[in-house]
Amino acid sequence: MKQIFYCFNIILFAGLMMSANAQPVPAVDENIPWLITFGKDGDTAWGDDDFIQIIFFSIPESQQGSIYIRVFDPDVGGMHDELKGSWNTQMRYSVYGGRGACSNEGARKLKRDGNYKSGTMLGSKTFGNDPKFDGKWFTFGPFNPSEGELLQDYGGYVFKFVVEGLSGDDGNVYTLFLSSDANSNKPIEGAFAFYFKYKFRLHDNVNEVSHIYPYITDKVVSIKQSNFDWDDDGIIRIISPSKNGERMAVSGDDVWVTSQHHIGKDDINSSLDIQMIKDKNKKIRNNNVVIYLENQYGELMPFYSIPIGGIPKYKYSIGIKPKSGDKP
């Protein structure tokens, strides 16, 4: 059954081929500063519920050359990272391809209690407090695109990148880049990233607005949004062809919250723009959060590093800004 709901018309991916900025994760259009993963002894109140992050990359079948997955600030210590006590965290990064890397249900489940390491491991490295990699890039690869799992529903050869906090309690802050070059960030035309559960840090600057872009297929009639440890930091709202700022529930400290949202006809075959707007008075710093969406069947819905079909707009108010009453 699940295959049906993720079965996109390949034409939809044509829109993705245009973008050259699809390869950083977090993506340019998301305006999210950092990904975060804590060591497995971390305190969930610091914003990570299970100490694992899984990001998928899709490479078009037309890609000829090798691909690389690059990590910025892979170590846990020094700059950027979030210290608790002393630096004692070990973080493992692993790249998977081959059959089952993405198609295995365990890889796309909310609870990482199944075979989320499905597929063939193509590369792996563990980092601790290592000044050599502090504020630097580390490159996995080269990988031949055909080492990924070929899934036309996901636009080509799919690689899975798993980040796991093996031990310790510190927060690992990092970003990723899918590159055609080992030593620099060179985008791969037509490639993109997607994820089913996203863990990241919000901006410290209260004027920055972050976004995620789930795609709504014609099978979706409602969505359930869940988020964790948002610390009541402002609002989350939906902009879409039919929604002009509908509010989603926002969690407090170390708790989950969910909200249910009806999907109208106008939103089918387009992306939602889920906007995260910080509280201008609270000025919360280092706010780490988790978010995911499910359809009415309880299946996780992917977010895309570039919105399929472009950034959605409310169709009844062209030229009019979203409701000003939505300010926190």
By CB under 5 A, name the one of 31, 66, 88, 269 that touches Ca ion: 88
Q: Determine, following the binding rule CB under 5 A, whether residue 94 of this chain makes contact with Ca ion.
A: no
Restricting to residues 189-208, name those near Ca ion by CB under 5 A.
none
Q: How far is CA 157 from the centre of its chain?
A: 18
CB-based contacts of 301, cutoff 8 Å, min separation 6: 196, 214, 215, 220, 223, 292, 293, 294, 295
Restricting to residues 267-296, name those near Ca ion by CB under 5 A.
287-288
Q: Determine, following the binding rule CB under 5 A, whether residue 47 of this chain makes contact with Ca ion.
A: yes
Q: Of the two residues 199 and 243, which places its CB atom closer to Ca ion in the complex?
A: 199
Could you tell me the smallest distance in angstroms from the CB atom of residue 16 to Ca ion? 29
121 within 8 A of 94, measured Cβ to Cβ: yes
Residue 122 dihedral angles phi and psi, to the nearest 5°: -105, -15
20 within 8 A of 189, measured Cβ to Cβ: yes
Q: Determine, following the binding rule CB under 5 A, whether residue 174 of this chain makes contact with Ca ion.
A: yes
By CB under 5 A, name the one of 30, 82, 147, 169 that touches Ca ion: 169
Q: Determine, following the binding rule CB under 5 A, whether residue 48 of this chain makes contact with Ca ion.
A: no
Could you tell me the smallest distance in angstroms from the CB atom of residue 230 to Ca ion? 6
171 within 8 A of 44, measured Cβ to Cβ: no
Q: Of the two residues 88 and 259, which places its CB atom closer to Ca ion in the complex?
A: 88
Token digits of residue 63:
């890609």
Cα 328 from Cα 324, distance rounded (Å): 10
Q: Of the two residues 84 and 186, which places its CB atom closer to Ca ion in the complex?
A: 84
Q: Of the two residues 73 and 267, which places its CB atom closer to Ca ion in the complex?
A: 73
Could you tell me the smallest distance in angstroms from the CB atom of residue 299 to Ca ion? 26
Could you tell me the smallest distance in angstroms from the CB atom of residue 56 to Ca ion? 21
Give me the sign of the Cα torsion angle 194, 195, 196, 200: negative
